[in-house]
Amino acid sequence: MTRRSGSLVAHTDAVHDKAEVPSGPWQPWTICLAGVVALAASLLLLVADGFAGVMASWDTPAPGRGWLTVAATGHVVLAVGSIVLLAAGLGRPTWRRPAVLLACAIIPVGVGWFLLFGRLASGA
């Protein structure tokens, strides 16, 4: 390929492409923030499952109340998972990045779990 001269070539010659390696493990506050938020979301959704169970049996027990127990069990599993990710991220700095990403994924999974089992419990 021949080298051309001109204003475009002179402009792009000043750009240097040096892809840098990531600067190392993420800071501890990243996993603390993500882990605590994921734990809080899981616990709040667990409380919401409890309220849904109380409201489902308020007057006449709803036929789908068993699904609320499954939903609560799932939120307990997500809460334990967020604690495990928090401990793993704090204990091993090289695991922080995947632990933060997984802890951030726990929140939408928990909300989806709540919505899915709410729909199943209502029989809709």
Average pLDDT of the residues in 9-22: 62
- Residue 91 confidence (pLDDT): 92
Q: Cα separation of 89 and 113, whole Å?
A: 25
Q: State the Cα–Cα distance between residues 99 and 84, nearest whole angstrom.
A: 9
* Nearest CA-CA partner of 70 in 117, 122, 8: 117
The pTM for the full model equals: 0.76
Confidence at residue 89, expressed as pLDDT on a 0 to 100 scale = 93
Q: What is the pLDDT of residues 59-101, one digit of tens each?
A: 777 788 888 889 999 999 999 999 999 999 999 998 999 999 9
Q: Is 3 helix (H, G, I), strand (E, B) or coil?
A: coil
pLDDT bucket at 2, cuts 50 / 70 / 90:
low
